[in-house]
Each structure stands twice: as structure tokens, then as C-alpha cells.
Amino acid sequence: MPEPLIFEISRPGRCAVALPEPDVRLSDLPGGLGRDDLPLPEVREVDLTRHYTHLSQMNYGVDTGFYPLGSCTMKYNPKINEEVARLSGFVHLHPYQDEETVQGALFLMYYLQEFLKEIGGFAAVSLQPAAGAHGELTGVLMMRAYHLDRGDAKRDVILVPDSAHGTNPASTTMCGLHVVEIPSDARGNVDLAALEAACEEHSDRLVGMMLTNPNTLGLFDEHVEEVTGLVHEHGGLMYGDGANMNALLGIARPGDLGFDVLHYNLHKTFSTPHGGGGPGSGPVGASERLADFLPAPIVAVDSERSDDEVEFYTFVNPPKSIGRVKAFYGHFGVMVKAYTYIRMLGPEGLRRVAEYAVLNANYVMSQIKEIYRVPYERTCMHEFVCEGHFPDAPDVRALDISKRLIDYGFHPPTNYFPLIVHEALMIEPTETESKETLDAFANALLRIAEEARTDPTLLHEAPHNAPVRRLDEVWAARNLILRWKPE
Ligand SMILES: *Cc1c(COP(=O)(O)O)cnc(C)c1O
């Protein structure tokens, strides 16, 4: 039953609060600031409570249901992370405090850097960037700085595969560099012949390459070491988009595969609630070659002020640092959550995350692939991409399937990405779901495929039971209406 709008239940004179009698003399606000003609709703406390609680329940989130949004790693975020991040000693820190008074926070940052170094196989880590895309910008600036430092100013080309996340070419362009797109081969890997040709053609202009591995098809590149080798041979550097680290934790390390710099998405792999704009955190790991260029400051042990019992932590600037990329020290609250998550799981637990993430994705794929075509059909990693399109139901599109999933109580997968798959549905179940949930989701997809043939209108008009029906998403994005206005 639709809830009445708060303006509809408004009655003159009703009020949700009882203020005490003022114990000071009343006076008017100056300059006509006090207005009594504002159309504010007048409601009782219980109506107000119900209004906001109802609004909160109209939302869909990881805590309310299955959220297989590919590339976003919408895993369950353990509540212990929030408890620790809310400890008053962390919450009430001020970034201008003296180092001696924030040793606990610096300890946490130092060991988070150490853990991320170990997990990714890198020589050093900076926690500054605020999100994945910001980490990309940071990493590409570091690659550019490396070439400039060697007096090699003519390099201005970055190779980006056609399966890349849109942020990769965007970050390149923001750094004033040029993108050269590299096609994928029939198995979903980087096309080695095309890569070789591009490396030859742009050899003296090559800054490097940005590669996501596993890529956005959910596939581990079968020639990743040849790819990194080729780019290095031509004087380029390898950037790793680490958004897909969920598939690799404890199993493979990008640093060992030849990547020189990589961003981690703490808010994806290392469990911080995300979506709706943040806050995230996109630390960057660097090989020996690039470590000196990391953004400043990073946390180090101050050996002069340490003794046998207690280490003293201090901020240092890497010698050739590209400088600051963020005010103060990055999003500390997210770092606390990631640190807690890593410590709770330990090395074996982290490895199990990746194993179950991969197992769950392969399981869902196996349940639906006879009905939903999987164009690059290989053992997938933590996600897979299928086509939301059936030859015998030509009017039904991936978007219709996604909207119909809402009626079944599931958040839709990512749609129309990566661009190289026709009517793409990109499904990432994550490790935190049970077999029952995965079965229910796969069954919903199979029933929807049936409906596509027997009753396509049902899909075209979906969702049927959501607070809002099918929206014109382009119109909505161009003409934002952020508040309801009374008539
Ligand atoms: C999410 C994502 C990014 C960008 O990360 P943000 O934290 O959203 O800026 C980059 N690449 C891939 C593959 C991603 O999935």
C-alpha cells in the first residue's frame, strides 16, 4: 500500500516536538529571516518517525538483499568494522595533532600499508587517494613523473584494452596523455599481436599500459606476463587496475606479475559500504622503480625515535613524490575498516575470500549458461559476463531482464558493460552469499528467460512492485529533481 506523502497528512497546528518554555526573552530574527509562509508539513512525532523509516526502507542495499553488481564487489560488510571505526579514540582525532599524540593511528596506517604491500607484491604503498579512479590518476601521474625524471619528455601514450573500465581512459586523459585502444582476442585476453604492433608503433612515445586483471569480463589474462614483458621492453610501465583484487587475494600478486603500480579499492575488496558517492579509499602500491614517486606523505618507522620495545611512526615524503593528492592523509575511517577486515580474516581467511568469490561466480554461471549466452566461456574469476538477449525473444533487452529482477527481489547486475559484449549482464555474486541465495537468483534468471518468450510485456513494463516504475534514466540524469515540492 503506498504510504501517504508527509504533506498529505499535514494538519495545521500539529507538531512533532515539545519545546520547553523559553527562559530568555524572545526577540525576532533580524532582517526578516524569520518566515512563517514556508509550506512545511505539520505532523506528529509518530508520523515523522514513520515517514523517515519508510523512506529508509524504500532503499535497497547489501544489508537488505543480494546485490550482484559486477565490478563493484558489493559484498557484505561485517559490522565489527563499523564498531572499530567508531571508537572514540579514532573518531575524535584531529589531523593537526602532533605525531606523538596519534601513534595509534599511525601504527594502523603503517601496518595497513605493510599488509597491502604483502597482498599486492609491492615495495611501498601510499594510502592517500580517495577512491579507485583517484588512485588511477595518482598512478598515471607517477608513471609520467618517472619518465620526466629520466629526461624522457616525449612519452605521451597509454595503451588501454577495449574491455577496460571507463575510468582508465578518463584518468589517462586527465593526465594530458593519449589513449590507444588495444582489442581483446577471441578468448577475452589482450590481443598479443595488436599489442605488439601498438608497442612498435608508439615505442618512443609509450608511457605504459593500464590493465585490469582479471579483466572486466571476469577473465584472468592467460598471457599477462607476456603483456607486462612487452610493455617493459618498449620502455613503458604497467598500471594495474586493482578493483578486481577480490579474485586474487592470497593467490596471485600483481607485483609478481610485472605490474609497477596498482590501486586497491578498499571499499570493494576490503569491505566498506559504498555506493551513493562514498567515502571510499584507493591506496596505491608501487614497485621499487616507482616507489620514490608515491604521493606524500606516507607512514614510516622513525628509527631514531624507536627503541627495542616501541616503534615510533612518522610521516615521510618519498624523495621524488608527485606531491599531495588529497587533503591531510586520506579517508582514515575507511582505512580502519580495511585494517580490521584484514586482521579479522588473516592470510588464510583472505585467501578463502578469493576462493569462494571465484567458486560462487562459476556456480551461478554454470546454472544459467545454457539459457544466457556467455560469449567468452572459460572458467571465470570473481564475476562473469553473459548476454541478456534471446534470439527467439528479439524485443527483450538486458535492461528489461534487469528491471524484472527487481520484481523478484534482487538488485540488477551491471548492464551494458563491458562494451564489447552485446546486451551485457555482468554478474558478481561475491563470497558472502549462500548456495541458497545463489540458487534463488539463478532460478529467477531462468524464470525471466521463460517469461521473455511467453509474456514479454511483463518484462517491458517491469518493475511492477518497486516504489517507482520504469524511469527514463537519461532524462532523470539530465534533469535532476532532488526534492518534492508541494503544489
Ligand atoms: C570500481 C572500479 C573502478 C573505479 O573505482 P572507484 O572507487 O569507483 O573510483 C575502476 N576500475 C574498475 C575495474 C572498477 O570496478
**298 shares its domain with 366:** no
> Which mutation among 160, 174, 239, 241 tests ligand 1's pocket best, with the greatest number of atoms within 8 A of CB?
241
Ligand 1 atom 2: residue of nearest CA:
243
pLDDT of residue 237: 98
Domain membership of residue 29 (yes or no) is: no
Domain membership of residue 66 (yes or no) is: no
Residues with Cβ within 6 A of ligand 1?
Answer: 71, 131-133, 165, 167, 212, 216, 241, 243, 265, 280, 282
Domain membership of residue 482 (yes or no) is: no
Ligand 1 atom nearest the C-alpha of 135 is 9
pLDDT of residue 277: 65
Domain membership of residue 24 (yes or no) is: no
pLDDT of residue 2: 59
Ligand 1 atom 15: residue of nearest CA:
71
How far, in Å, from the CA of 179 to the mean position of ligand 1?
18
Ligand 1 atom 6: residue of nearest CA:
132
What is the CATH number for 115? 3.40.640.10
**321 shares its domain with 381:** no
pLDDT of residue 486: 65
How far, in Å, from the CA of 259 to the mean position of ligand 1?
18
Domain boundary among 342, 377, 394: 342
Q: How many domains does the chain have?
A: 3
Q: What is the pLDDT along the chain (487 residues), one digit of tens a residue?
A: 556 778 888 999 999 999 899 999 988 888 878 887 888 889 999 999 999 998 888 889 999 999 999 999 999 999 999 999 999 999 999 999 999 999 999 999 999 999 999 999 999 999 999 999 999 999 999 999 999 999 999 999 999 999 999 999 999 999 999 999 999 999 999 999 999 999 999 999 999 999 999 999 999 999 999 999 999 999 999 999 999 999 999 999 999 999 999 999 999 999 999 877 668 999 999 999 999 999 999 999 999 999 999 999 999 999 999 999 999 999 999 999 999 999 999 999 999 999 999 999 999 999 999 999 999 999 999 999 999 999 999 999 999 999 999 999 999 999 999 999 999 999 999 999 999 999 999 999 999 999 999 999 999 999 999 988 998 889 988 998 888 776 6
pLDDT of residue 30: 86
**226 shares its domain with 359:** no
**385 shares its domain with 410:** yes
**284 shares its domain with 158:** yes
How far, in Å, from the CA of 236 to the mean position of ligand 1?
23
> Which mutation among 74, 75, 165, 428 tests ligand 1's pocket best, with the greatest number of atoms within 8 A of CB?
165
**267 shares its domain with 298:** yes
Ligand 1 atom 14: residue of nearest CA:
243
pLDDT of residue 178: 97
**168 shares its domain with 291:** yes
Determine the length of the chain. 487
Domain boundary among 292, 313, 342: 342
Ligand 1 atom nearest the C-alpha of 280 is 7
pLDDT of residue 245: 97
How far, in Å, from the CA of 217 to the mean position of ligand 1?
14
**49 shares its domain with 98:** no
**48 shares its domain with 87:** no
How far, in Å, from the CA of 263 to the mean position of ligand 1?
9
Domain membership of residue 25 (yes or no) is: no
Domain membership of residue 30 (yes or no) is: no
How far, in Å, from the CA of 91 to the mean position of ligand 1?
27
Instruction: Provide the residue range defining the domain that includes 301.
Output: 80-342
CA distance 57 to 302: 49
**101 shares its domain with 43:** no
**52 shares its domain with 106:** no
What is the CATH number for 418? 3.90.1150.10
pLDDT of residue 248: 98
Ligand 1 atom nearest the C-alpha of 265 is 7
Domain boundary among 310, 342, 374: 342
**257 shares its domain with 149:** yes
Domain membership of residue 72 (yes or no) is: no
Domain membership of residue 431 (yes or no) is: yes
How far, in Å, from the CA of 133 to the mean position of ligand 1?
6
Ligand 1 atom nearest the C-alpha of 282 is 7
